[in-house]
Every structure is written in C-alpha cells, then in structure tokens.
Amino acid sequence: MIEQINHIAIAVRSLEEHIPFYRDVLKLEYRGTEVVEDQKVRLAVFRVGEVNIELLEPTAADSPVAAFIEKRGEGMHHISYQVDDIEEQIAELKGKQIRMIDETPRSGAHGSRIAFLHSRSSAKVLTELTQLK
C-alpha cells in the first residue's frame, strides 16, 4: 500500500551549484549527501514537511541520471512513493499491466529498497516505489 510521498528527485549537473538555493534561499532543512554506487549517483537531501527533496548528481558518464540530463537537461527526475511492502506493490501493479523497469526491488539510498515504474505507465512521470529499511 502506498503510504505517502517519500521524495521528489531533481537531476542536476552539480550539487555544489544547487545546494545553496535549497539550503540558503528556500531554507529547507539540509540533511547531507550520500553516494549510491549501484545507481552511479551522489545525492543531497533536504526535508520539507514529511517529504524529502533529493538533488541527484551523476557520478559517471554512463549513469541513468547523466543520460537523463543529456537528453532532457536538469530538472524533475522522478517522484517516489513510500510503500509498506514493495514486493506486494510490484505484484499488484504488474497484475494491472503496469510496465515496470524493476520487476524485483534493488538497493536505494539510506538502505531502502526501490523499484521504478516505466514513465509510459504514469503520464510520462518516472515513478519510484520506496520501502524504507
């Protein structure tokens, strides 16, 4: 079951260039950075209410985020919904003929388990499911 929005992710070329806007101008609570090796991305996390804003910076030229920026430029990358049972949610979506990028969960930031839906299934918005550790 979807519980809430977990985070909104924004693809950027440089965390250092964009962190000051979210931290100093918008005054969002800055929670630090983390590298997710599997996804070849470094992220900066900000908290606003119950939702995180994650800035995603590619750590390699062949990362999915680098390809996204090359094709579309910087901007909104995906929205993540927090779920209580990711396997159950994937099975339910597949049963409804929703196209999945990840048919089994993989490792995400902060020790979470994640799976992406294909953007063609969700009005061209890349959608992530996140089950917290």
Q: Could you give the dihedral angle defined by the CA atoms of residues 102, 100, 93 and 75, in that order, rounded to the nearest 10 degrees?
A: 100
Q: Rounded to an integer, what distance in angstroms lies between the CA atom of residue 4 and that of residue 79?
A: 11
Q: Rounded to an integer, what distance in angstroms lies between the CA atom of residue 82 and that of residue 13?
A: 26
Residue 15 token pair: 């965390």
Give the chain's domains with CATH numbers. 2-131 (3.10.180.10)
The pLDDT profile of the chain, 133 residues, written as one tens digit per residue, is 899 999 999 999 999 999 999 999 999 999 999 999 988 999 999 999 999 999 999 999 999 999 999 999 999 999 999 999 999 999 999 999 999 999 999 998 888 999 999 999 989 999 999 999 8
**Cβ proximity of 52 and 68 under 8 Å:** no
